């Protein structure tokens, strides 16, 4: 890729502005390092602060234009074609950037995408070849005064560079253990030992020692024993192939021997994963009715932190969907300017526009999976803003939004995930058919009303940090198939508008297969199966029903 035009531009460097919520966006010089993996950025004219960096290995994706919450809010001064967002894996915040021109932005978006693709396509030996260059580059950038020694302050800077979030007390303890000279500086072997201790996995060392014996070298036969103990039908030939792929020491590799570092490299690779790699993609029968499946679901999806004063963000929806989540929650409340908002009601959590949430769902619903996405609406809005919600969903989602039963579908069964590929389903209350009365006259019983008090008690008992994962689905009759029964477990707030318990016809019309109803009891449900109806339970109520059912 070194001859690639986009990568060449990145190697030369570009002036990009970091767009943030606070302060004036300031230009930084961004440059790809010679290792083809590390990107450094620093003030245009230098300064006291050392250059910052990130690795292409830690990038989850690159978005063009104003497609992040940060750029939508604070990037209006920059043309959309000049802007892009780097999304990182883990907890690191997005990097919202604005280039001087469209061409520069395009080079960086395309170049980063190519480098990410190259890393993904690399074999394990090729990846291992990159690590020494990457680590050497990190150590050089952390060494602020270029004395080839590392102070504790520089060590902390290095930890930030490689995304290690470590307690300062523990980090200093490791630092002192490696500082054999006692001069508060690490160099040479001391620095190597510090890096080695950062990567230590005592449980893997113990496992290696158990199979390798006193010499702490694993032969192909001993590796085969380990693999067979893990339930793998491994031959001696396969054991030798693993050694030749993952062992770092050339001499040991030639003798079909494996050292601790090679053993750890194997266990931490995809090949050593406990997960069957064939199961990383959908391999089950997806043609059964929707209620035959457990659905990966998110509770309080909009929250990035706690449920009392945390931040609500459209980015939380993006991350949930990119993690494979197929059911997201929208806690909808009256907005002051006629626009519905999403937030955790009656708390200090920040608010985001319902419209912005739907736009994010449109853009990312099917990036990770083609199977249907369910929007679980916790509706606390009055009739007018309910109608606005329906208009936004129709206008923004278009054909993705399911508004009619599938043609030819048996009314006694739900369609399958396969049939619903690429579709967005709305879960909410549904008006009786046909609807003849004028808006505002009739209200429906709240299917969650009887659970509100229990939910509030449980909420007080165990407030959880950020978004938590729950199981949702249909309250279809208790007929146990091999996929089990789906139950909705969620919490509910207090209506904000006087007419929030009423349902606007416009919103009712987009509820098709996920109709929220009060639970009539197990006996009634068994006698009157309605697969398109769903009921919500607090965990306490669910346990009670299970106990009563024996």
Do 156 and 50 form a contact (C-beta atoms < 8 A)? no
Rg (CA), the chain: 28
Q: Which residue is associated with the tokens 């996995």?
A: 201
Q: What are 56-66's pLDDT values in tens digits?
A: 988 989 999 99
The dihedral region occupied by 404, where left means phi > 0, alpha psi between -120 and 50, and beta the remainder, is beta
Q: CA 83, CA 75: separation in Å to the nearest integer?
A: 8
Residue that wins the pLDDT comparison between 493 and 403: 403
Q: What are the residue numbers of the active site?
A: 299, 344
What is the structure's pLDDT at 167?
Answer: 85
The Cβ of residue 27 has, within 10 Å, a number of other Cβ atoms equal to 16
Do 301 and 361 form a contact (C-beta atoms < 8 A)? no
List the beta bridge partners of residue 85. 63, 96
Is the backbone peptide bond immediately before 225 cis, with ω within 30 degrees of 0?
no
The two tokens of residue 72 are 């939508």
What is the structure's pLDDT at 188?
Answer: 83
Split at pLDDT 50, 70, 90, the class of 142 is confident
The pLDDT of residue 493 is above 80: no
Asked: is 202-273 a CATH 1.10.238.10 domain? The reply is: yes
Q: CA 420, CA 415: separation in Å to the nearest integer?
A: 7
Q: CA 371, CA 418: separation in Å to the nearest integer?
A: 7
Q: CA 176, CA 153: separation in Å to the nearest integer?
A: 13
| CATH number of 294-549, picked from 3.30.70.250, 3.40.47.10, 3.20.20.190, 3.10.450.50 | 3.20.20.190
Residue that wins the pLDDT comparison between 347 and 75: 75
Q: Which of 16-20, 93-97, 126-130 has the lowest mean pLDDT?
A: 126-130
What is the structure's pLDDT at 201?
Answer: 87
Do 71 and 81 form a contact (C-beta atoms < 8 A)? no
List the beta bridge partners of residue 281. none
Question: Hey, do 5-123 and 294-549 end up sharing a CATH topology, with the first three levels equal?
Answer: no
Supply the DSSP symbol for 76: T
Which residues contact residue 160 at a Cβ distance below 8 angstroms, ignoring those fewer than 6 apart? none
The pTM score is 0.71
Residue that wins the pLDDT comparison between 523 and 480: 523
Split at pLDDT 50, 70, 90, the class of 519 is confident
Range 143-198: architecture per CATH:
Orthogonal Bundle (1.10)
Q: What's the distance, CA 459 to chain centroid?
A: 24
Domain boundaries, the chain: 5-123, 143-198, 202-273, 294-549
Largest separation between any pair of C-alpha atoms in the chain? 86
CATH topology of domain 5-123: PH-domain like (2.30.29)
Pairing of strands 341-342, 327-333: antiparallel
Please state the three-class secondary structure of 125-186 as a single string: HHHHHHHHHHHHHHHHHHCCCCCCCECHHHHHHHHHHCCCCCCHHHHHHHHHHHCCCCCCCE
Q: Which helix (H) or strand (E) holds 199?
A: none
Buried-exposed string 186-220: b where 16+ CB fall within 10 A, e elsewhere: beeebbebbbeebeeeeeeeeebeebbeeeebbbb
Cα within 13 Å of Cα(133), Cβ side: 12
Q: CA 310, CA 130: separation in Å to the nearest integer?
A: 39
What is the structure's pLDDT at 471?
Answer: 34
Supply the DSSP symbol for 312: B
């Amino acid at each position: 890729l070194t001859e690639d035009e986009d990568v060449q531009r990145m190697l030369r460097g570009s002036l990009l502005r970091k767009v943030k919520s606070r302060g004036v966006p300031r230009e930084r010089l961004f440059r790809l390092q010679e290792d083809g993996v590390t990107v450094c950025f620093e003030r245009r004219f230098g300064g006291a602060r050392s250059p910052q960096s990130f690795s292409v290995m830690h990038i989850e994706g690159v978005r063009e234009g104003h497609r992040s919450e940060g750029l939508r809010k604070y990037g209006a001064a920059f043309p959309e074609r000049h802007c892009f967002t780097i999304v990182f894996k883990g907890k690191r915040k997005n990097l919202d950037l604005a280039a001087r021109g469209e061409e520069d932005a395009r080079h960086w978006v395309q170049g980063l995408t190519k480098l990410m693709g190259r890393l993904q396509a690399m074999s394990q030996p090729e990846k291992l070849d990159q690590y020494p260059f990457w680590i050497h580059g990190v150590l050089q950038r952390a060494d602020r005064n270029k004395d080839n020694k590392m102070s504790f302050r520089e060590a902390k800077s290095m930890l930030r560079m490689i995304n290690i979030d470590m307690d300062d007390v523990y980090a200093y303890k490791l630092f002192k253990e490696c500082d054999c000279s006692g001069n508060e500086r690490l160099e040479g072997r001391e620095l190597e030992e510090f890096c080695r201790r950062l990567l230590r996995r005592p449980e893997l060392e113990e496992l290696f020692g158990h199979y390798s014996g006193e010499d702490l070298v694993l032969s192909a036969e001993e590796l085969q024993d380990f693999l067979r103990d893990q339930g793998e039908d491994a031959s001696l030939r396969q054991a030798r192939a693993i050694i030749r792929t993952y062992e770092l020491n050339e001499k040991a590799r030639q003798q079909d021997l494996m050292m601790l570092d090679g053993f750890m490299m194997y266990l931490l690779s995809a090949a050593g994963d406990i997960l069957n790699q064939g199961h990383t993609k959908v391999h089950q029968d997806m043609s059964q009715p929707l209620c035959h499946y457990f659905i990966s679901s998110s509770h309080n999806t909009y929250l990035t932190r706690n449920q009392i004063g945390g931040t609500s963000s459209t980015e939380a929806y993006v991350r949930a969907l990119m993690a494979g989540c197929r059911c997201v929650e929208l806690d909808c409340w009256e907005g002051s300017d006629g626009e519905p908002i999403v937030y955790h009601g009656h708390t200090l959590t920040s608010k985001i526009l319902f419209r912005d949430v739907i736009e994010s769902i449109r853009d990312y619903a099917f990036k990770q999976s083609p199977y249907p996405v369910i929007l679980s609406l916790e509706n606390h809005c009055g009739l007018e803003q309910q109608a606005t919600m329906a208009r936004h969903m129709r206008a923004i989602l278009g054909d993705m939004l399911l508004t009619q039963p599938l043609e030819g579908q048996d009314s006694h069964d739900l369609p399958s995930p396969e049939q619903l590929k690429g579709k967005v389903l709305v879960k909410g209350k549904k008006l009786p058919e046909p609807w003849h009365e004028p808006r505002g006259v009739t209200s429906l019983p709240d299917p969650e009303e009887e659970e509100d008090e229990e939910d509030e008690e449980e909420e007080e008992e165990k407030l959880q940090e950020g978004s938590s994962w729950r199981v949702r689905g249909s309250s279809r009759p208790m007929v146990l198939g091999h996929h089990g029964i789906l139950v909705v477990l969620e919490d509910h707030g207090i209506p904000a508008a006087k007419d929030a318990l009423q349902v606007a016809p416009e919103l009712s019309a987009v509820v098709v297969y996920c109709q929220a109803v009060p639970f009539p009891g197990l006996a009634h449900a068994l006698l009157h199966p309605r697969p398109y109806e769903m009921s919500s339970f607090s965990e306490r109520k669910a346990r009670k029903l299970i106990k009563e059912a024996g």
